[in-house]
Amino acid sequence: MTVKSGVLFVCSHNSARSQMAEGLFRHAAGDRFGIASAGVEPGVLNPFAVQAMQEIGIDISQHTAESIDTYRGTWQVDHLVIVCDKAAAQCPTDWPGVGQTHHWFFEDPSAATGSDAEKLAVFRQVRDAIRRRLESWLEKPDDSESSQNAQV
């Protein structure tokens, strides 16, 4: 039996960026990896994240915000992908079994202001930036550039 590499996307609240990254990665990678997302201080799944993902045919509406403690020390995390600077500052560094840590910082779409249409536009922008980064990483997951910061 082949053990899949575990990929955990971490954000501060596990409400938008990490959720979108999980959905996009599941869609792009299929069953090649064990994939999950979590938050340092889990909140509630953001409806704009759900809507932005539905627009490209990916349903994350049943996702729930999970704590990093759900996975810490209980799940083999070969790739810990931190998608926001706040989580990077708060994320525990003593994770047993963590392979590589990647820092891909994206703008927080939950901080967007304006009308619902303006907020959704920011979610789309961040979604698309995450998708580009994930597609690039899937081509070369062990590339040294994978730990570089990605800014939107």
Q: Is 6 left (phi over 0), alpha (psi -120 to 50) or beta?
A: beta
Q: Which two tokens stand for residue 92?
A: 């525990």
Q: Tell me the pTM.
A: 0.88
Provide the residue ranges of all domains of the chain, joining segments of one domain with +.
5-147
Nearest to 76 by CA among 57, 59, 95: 95
pLDDT at 95: 74
Over range 116-143, report the average pLDDT.
90
Q: What is the pLDDT of residues 57-83, one digit of tens each?
A: 999 999 999 999 998 888 888 999 999
At residue 145, does pLDDT exceed 60?
A: no
pLDDT at 141: 60
Residues acting as catalytic residues: 11, 84, 91
| CATH 3.40.50.2300 describes domain 5-147 | yes
